Structures are given as structure tokens and as C-alpha cells.
Amino acid sequence: MTEQQSTPQPQLPEASSPASQNGGAAASQASYTFTAPDGTAALRRRQRVQTALLLVVAAGLGAQWWVSHTELRDLRSEVAQRLQSGDNSSNEIKGVLKAVQENTKDLQAKVSVLDSKQAESQSQQLALEQMYQDLNKNRDDWALSEIEEVLSTADQQLELAGNVQGALIALQNADKSLSRADKPQFIAIRRAIARDIDRLKALPTVDIAGIAVRLDSAIGQIDNMPLLVDEKPVESASEPKPQRVSASPVPAAKASANGKNAKGKAEAAQVEASAWSQWLAGARETWQSMSTEMWTELRQLVRIREVQTPEAILLSPGQAYFVRENLKLRLLNARLALLSRNEFAFRNDLASAQDTIAKYFDTRAKQVQTTQALLKQVQGSNLSIQLPTLAESLNAVRNYKARH
């Protein structure tokens, strides 16, 4: 503005213009000199206001963007944590399902073996019947063939299912059949059968049915067992409140002392001192009982317990349901391993079930302690028994048939 005011304006030549024109030019020059600065200042003020508004709007947009970015980042973090938790749960379930599938494959393989053995037994039976019809054997050969078939079936059941009682019954029936024949050539066969019977009787007894019943009982108690996340505050036991001793400063001794003024002031002073000491003792006992009662009530307000597995406290209802179902699956797998005499899988499943109970369930509850004791009792059962075979009896029968 200063440069515009000090800049000289071009002057028209005086020769060619009259005085009136000079006056008009001077008036127009003066008008330009005073109006131009006001328009520039207003323009600059508008520009400054617009600039300030733009800055305010930009600051507001920046703040809104920062808040939105922060909320979006927190939301992404929470979603990632929940997805991670869901992935962990799904991985655990996949592991359990994989174990179940592997056990199912093992069972299917054993069932296929049993089917093949059964098919083999059926083929042997058909062959034996055909042999009966074609060769017309005598009574002794027929009895030995029947004994061989029975002993072969019992040996298969003993090897696959551990049916010791069935093998014993088969051996005893074979010995009875040979004893009815009463022939000296069967003595070697009966001796072999007797040795097999002694070996089976010497085996330790394994109560498979009893162990299975205990496992079924433990499975039935799982739904009633409290979890750590289900724990409720224990109500305080009712304690006998201490009786408050009356702190009356007027004992009976003082009344009797007032009635006997003839004994003197010394005796009255002693009575007053005794009354004061009794009042102090009563007040002290009252304060102790009140403080004890207040401390007992304060202790019941806060209860602190140390938990070694924090994730057990953070279980959702859905996860608690899966914890119970996984524990049931473990015990069912242990039952299947028991029936198939797979001691490694049996003890592994029982150990996993014990770990699950100790990790997620409230071990102070009586039901949980009962289940743990039951599983420990089952886990202490000995299944590692080397079962003998009936090969000696079968070989004796087959050798006799081959010689004759």
C-alpha cells in the first residue's frame, strides 16, 4: 500500500488540456489514491478468515481421522485376539478328533483282523464238515477234529480278546471228551491240555468288567463336577459370638459396703478400687470381643486363592461344555483301550483325564475328589499280563492225527 501511494502518476501535457481537465485528472488521481488501500485490506482479511477456517476444518478432520484410526486399531487387535482364541480351541478339538480317528482306525484294523479270523474259522468249519461227509471218519477221529476246532477257536479268542475263562472252559471240555474215550493213546494229549490249564489258572486275575464299571461311573459324574470358573464364594461358618460382659461400675460388693458404714472409710475405698478394676476388666473384655467379631467379618469380605492355570478361570460357557465333553471322550477311549488290552493307550488316556481335572475343575469339591480317587484306583490296575497260548495242546492233537 505504501508503494502504491508514493508512486507518481503520469501527468497529461498542459498544452493540450484545459484547466477543467487538469482538475478532473487530479480529482480522479486523488480518488484512486485513497480507495485502493481499503479494498486490498478487505481482501486480505477475507483471505485470512478463509485460511483460519481451512485450518480449523483441517484440524477437525485430522482429529477425527486419528480417533477413527485408534478405534479401528483397537478393534483389529480385539478381533485378532478372539480369532487366536478360537484357533487355539479349534486346534485342541482337532487334536482330540485326530486321536479319536486314530483309535477308530486301530479298532477298525482289529475288527478286520477279527473278521479275517472269523472267515478263516468259517472256512475251517466248512472244510471240516466237508471232510466229515467225504471221508466218513471213525468216532475217535471225529472227536479229535472237534477238539482241535474248539481249541483253535479258544486260542484265537485268547490271543485277540484275552478271554482266559473261555479258553479254560474249552480245555476242560476237551479233557472231559478225551476222558470219556478212556484210551491210553490220548494220555499225551491230556497231559498237554493239563499243562495249558495249569498255566491259565496261574495267571493273575484282572477284573476287566469291574474296571469298566468304574470308568462308566466316573463318566457319569463329569456333568455334576464343578469347574473353577463356576466357583462361588463359600459362606462363612457360623461361629459362636463371644458374649459381651456388662461393664456396670456398680457391683454388688459396693452395695453391701454402703450398707456397712461402720467399717470405716478405708474399707469403702478398697471396695471402690475393686469396683473400678472390675469395670476396667469388663470394658477390656468387651473391646476384645467386639474387635474379634469385627476382624472375623472383615476376613470374610475378601478371599484370595492362587490358581496355577489362569485360562481355567477365563473359560466361556461354550468352552466349559467342550472341556467336559473332551474329558468324557478321554475316559471312553480309556475304556476301549481296556477292552482291547492296550495298556499304553489306557494309561495315557487316564493320565490326560487326570491332568484335565486338575487344570479345569475345582479339586476342593467332594465330587471332584471322589472322581480323582476313582481314576487313581483304576489307574493302579495291572493290565500288563503275558497271556500264554494253547499251542502245546493244539500241536499234541495235530501230531496225533498226523501219525494216525
At residue 389, φ and ψ (nearest 5 deg) are -115, 170
Range 297-302, long-range pairs (CB < 8 A, 24+ positions): 300/236
Q: Looking at domain 108-203+387-403, which CATH architecture does it have?
A: Up-down Bundle (1.20)
Asked if the model's pLDDT at residue 113 lies above 70, the reply is yes
pLDDT at 352: 92
For the chain, what are the domain ranges?
A: 1-8+24-79, 108-203+387-403, 211-229+312-379, 252-301
Q: What is the mean pLDDT of the chain?
A: 76
Q: Please, what sign has the CA dihedral across residues 149, 151, 154, 160?
A: negative
361 - beta bridge partners? 227
Tell me how far apart the alpha carbons of residues 158 and 349 are, in angstroms, rounded to a whole number.
25
Task: Identify the three-state secondary structure at position 227.
Answer: strand
Tell me how far apart the alpha carbons of residues 351 and 338 are, in angstroms, rounded to a whole number.
14
* 96 or 273, higher pLDDT: 96
pLDDT at 332: 92
Q: Please, what sign has the CA dihedral across residues 222, 224, 229, 231?
A: negative
pLDDT at 121: 85
pLDDT at 119: 86
227 - beta bridge partners? 361
Tell me how far apart the alpha carbons of residues 145 and 159 are, in angstroms, rounded to a whole number.
21
* 357 or 8, higher pLDDT: 357
- Looking at the chain, how many residues does it have? 404
pLDDT by residue (tens digit) across 165-210? 888 888 888 888 888 877 788 888 889 989 888 888 887 766 777 8
Tell me how far apart the alpha carbons of residues 29 and 213 are, in angstroms, rounded to a whole number.
120
pLDDT at 234: 41
What is the pLDDT confidence band of residue 40, given thresholds at 50, 70 and 90? confident
Tally of CB atoms within 10 A around 334: 28
pLDDT by residue (tens digit) across 202-245? 877 667 778 888 888 889 989 888 888 775 544 433 444 444 44
CA distances from 6 to 1, 9, 44, 168, 271 (A): 9, 9, 21, 135, 118
Tell me how far apart the alpha carbons of residues 205 and 202 are, in angstroms, rounded to a whole number.
9
* 263 or 184, higher pLDDT: 184
pLDDT by residue (tens digit) across 115-158? 888 888 888 888 877 776 665 456 777 778 888 888 888 888 77
| Closest to 153 (Cα-Cα) out of 132, 170, 178 | 170
Tell me how far apart the alpha carbons of residues 18 and 25 are, in angstroms, rounded to a whole number.
11
pLDDT at 134: 62
Task: Identify the three-state secondary structure at position 361.
Answer: strand
Asked if the model's pLDDT at residue 371 lies above 50, the reply is yes
First vs last Cα of the chain: how many Å apart? 143
Task: Say if CB 270 and CB 260 are below 8 A apart.
Answer: no
The contacts of residue 382 (CB under 8 Å, 6+ apart) are 204, 206
Asked if the model's pLDDT at residue 372 lies above 60, the reply is yes
pLDDT at 235: 42
